[in-house]
Amino acid sequence: MAQDAPRSQPTRRERYRAQTIREIKEHALRRLAELGPDGLSLNAIARAMGITGPALYRYYASRDALIEALTDDAYQDLVQTVRTAVDGVPAGEAGNRLRVLMEAFRGWALTQPHRYLLAFKTPLTGTVPPRAATRHANSVVAAILCAVVPHESDTPARFAPEGPGVSLEQERQEQWSTAGSCAGVDGPVPARALLIWSRIHGLVDLEVTGQFSALGLDPSALYCAEAAALIGEPG
Amino acid sequence: MAQDAPRSQPTRRERYRAQTIREIKEHALRRLAELGPDGLSLNAIARAMGITGPALYRYYASRDALIEALTDDAYQDLVQTVRTAVDGVPAGEAGNRLRVLMEAFRGWALTQPHRYLLAFKTPLTGTVPPRAATRHANSVVAAILCAVVPHESDTPARFAPEGPGVSLEQERQEQWSTAGSCAGVDGPVPARALLIWSRIHGLVDLEVTGQFSALGLDPSALYCAEAAALIGEPG
DNA sequence: CCCTTTATTTAAAGGAAATCAGCAAAAACG
DNA sequence: CGTTTTTGCTGATTTCCTTTAAATAAAGGG
């Protein structure tokens, strides 16, 4: 947990270890893309890397730990991609920012569907990820909010009725100092961000899982229609 | 393949076999609900039934075959539930039909999230289900269309641009005589049904996977907002 | 009562996850 | 330089799963 190195410079070992971890993730993502989430086997990754299975357990405590790390990376990468894309559009052009947001989101998901499914297909319900889920969901909503709330705290309506809004503020300050640069996002999440998220997710998820192609049609026009609809009803 | 019995009455063996299949599915669904999709093991099912593992291979050729059967059931059940719910509302009240459609869809998904995930989170992309995917997607769209297209072929816009609209009509007549009662659904799927589907799916999927509860909020108000929005822009 | 079909079992091959004991090399320390 | 510790890895083992193949019990039909 606590790093012994005083953060002056990473030792040779640390660099080597970090590189190995990177290599493990690369192989894992490759197998994930080819074989699907169930085909992800630590043994196979090790074999592909030229080492034996148990060697990987020095880097990840279990198969689930590796999957969790990949999921974390996926959320982070998705959010980062969306953020940089949106940041390329002036804050004044709300409509264009939304369009860019949707295209960035969709593009990321379509170019690496396995990672999108890894992030959103896993039933967080139940017992699987306790805190990570909150962190991930918050990061996505924060990115959307950042993208489309024009100036500052617009917040046309609020959700999160009365009960369990406790652990939210905690999490936000514990783990989310990196989010930053989003003004007026202290209270419950504004409804507009959730609306946008659910519409984007609906389209992207149906497309990624192949439902549209099963129907024999191209959903591009639907994205345009949804973007237009969202711009038309800006809260 | 071909049934020898002339369909006059099922023999004792056939009844016994059907009951066994039902029992297998029950145990499978129970384990699916408890352990998730990856925890579904033919051996465990057999053990719970008091028989040995290989005995199940008389009923399902493989684990995937069982999953496929469960997926088929899930789609059929979902569509059936939605249809009967919507049929309880007069055809004139388009807004209420849409609301009932959304609530039926959501209710079905929330009461059995494992079946919803089984149906929609399996990456059909790639090699998994060739024809079944088309059948399933069509059944969902047909049910939505049936629910909300007011009188007959409204079809405000059309998708499926030009290319691969070949196997659609074939499938529709081969396997879809049961759909029936849907007027004006010969050509490409109207955009409105896809719009409704993607919005419902976005909300339901985020809720089922626990993203909303991870945010600490109740998405009920979002459903109302989306229903109102869809009624407000009826194409 | 025999014979065919069906249901189920045992046996076994093949693979994966996870854990343990042990070995070698690099690093850290004297 | 030499010793100790940490780190990376191997091999063996355990358990569990899927799936095939062969042997056995049960049921139905002539």
pLDDT at A8: 52
| Strand C positions within 7 A of protein Cβ atoms | 6-12, 15-21, 26-28
Q: What is the pLDDT of residues B64-83, one digit of tens each?
A: 999 999 999 999 999 999 99
If pLDDT is split at 50, 70 and 90, which confidence band does A121 have?
confident
Least confident of A93-97, A133-137, B9-13: B9-13
Report the C-alpha gap between A194 and A141 in whole angstroms.
7
CATH of span B9-60 = 1.10.10
CA distance B198 to chain A (A): 5
The helix/strand/coil state of B88 is coil
Indicate the residue of B201, B208, B216 with minimum beta-carbon distance to A206: B201
pLDDT digits (tens, 9 = 90+) for B173-208: 333 333 333 433 445 568 999 999 999 999 999 999
Give the per-residue pLDDT at A149: 79
CATH architecture of A10-60: Orthogonal Bundle (1.10)
> What are the residues whose beta carbons fall under 8 Å from the beta carbon of B35, sequence distance 6 or more?
none
Rounded to 5°, angle at Cα A169 from A168 and A173: 120
List the A13 CA – D10 C1' distance (angstroms): 20
Return the pLDDT at A122.
78
Which of A34, A79, A117, A125 should we substitute to test contact with B (largest number of B Cβ atoms within 10 Å)? Answer: A125
> A172 beta carbon < 7 A from strand C?
no
Tell if the CB–CB gap between A124 and B225 is shorter than 8 Å. Answer: no
Percent of chain B with pLDDT over 90: 65
- Nearest-Cα distance to chain A for B11, in Å, is 38
Contact at 8 Å (CB) between A101 and A86?
A: yes
pLDDT digits (tens, 9 = 90+) for B97-150: 999 999 999 999 999 999 999 999 877 655 555 688 999 999 999 999 999 876
> In chain B, what are the domain boundaries?
9-60, 63-232
Confidence at residue B107, expressed as pLDDT on a 0 to 100 scale: 98
Q: What is the CATH number of domain B63-232?
A: 1.10.357.10
Handedness of CA A32, A101, B204, B79 (dihedral sign): negative
User: Which residues of chain B lie closer than 8 angstroms to A213, CB-CB?
Assistant: 125
Per-residue model confidence (pLDDT) at position A185 = 43
Q: What 3-state class would DSSP assign to A124? A: coil
What does the pLDDT read at residue B153?
A: 46
- List the single range of A126-130, A231-235, B43-47 with lowest mean pLDDT: A126-130
User: Which residues of A in 39-78 have their CB below 7 Å from strand C's atoms?
Assistant: 40-44, 53-54, 57, 61-64
Alpha carbons A113 and A110: distance in angstroms, whole number: 5
Residue nearest to nucleotide C27 (CA to C1'): A13
Label residue A173 by pLDDT band (50, 70, 90).
very low
Cβ-based contacts of A159 with chain B (< 8 Å): 217-219, 221-222
Which pLDDT band holds residue B221 (cuts at 50, 70, 90)? very high
Q: Which residues of A touch B39 (CB under 8 A)?
A: none
Return the SS3 of A175.
helix
pLDDT at position B36 is 87
Nearest residue to B122 (alpha-carbon basis) of B201, B67, B41:
B67
Buried b or exposed e, range B150-180, using 16+ CB within 10 angstroms: eeeeebeeebbeeeeeeebeebbeeebeebe
pLDDT score, position A150: 62
The band of B167, judged by pLDDT with boundaries at 50, 70 and 90, is very low
Q: Of all residues in chain A, what percent carry a pLDDT higher than 70?
A: 75
| Contact between chains at B211 and A38 (C-beta distance less than 8 A) | no
Of A17-21, A180-184, B224-228, the one with minimum mean pLDDT is A180-184
A101: pLDDT strictly greater than 70: yes
Residue B121 is predicted with a pLDDT of 86
DSSP for B99-151, please give it: HHHHHHHHHHHHH-HHHHHHHHSS--SSSS-SSHHHHHHHHHHHHHHHHH--S
The answer to whether residue A175 scores a pLDDT higher than 80 is no
pLDDT of residue A2: 37
On the question of pLDDT at A81 being above 50, the answer is yes
- Mean pLDDT check: name the lowest of A25-39, A187-201, B101-115, B156-170: B156-170
pLDDT at A116 (0 to 100): 96
Quote the pLDDT of residue B11.
Answer: 81
Low-confidence winner among A49-63, A141-155, A220-234, B145-159 (lowest mean pLDDT): B145-159
Under the banding of pLDDT at 50, 70 and 90, the label for residue A139 is: very high
Q: What is the C-alpha to C-alpha distance for residues B235 and B77, in angstroms, rounded to an integer?
A: 29
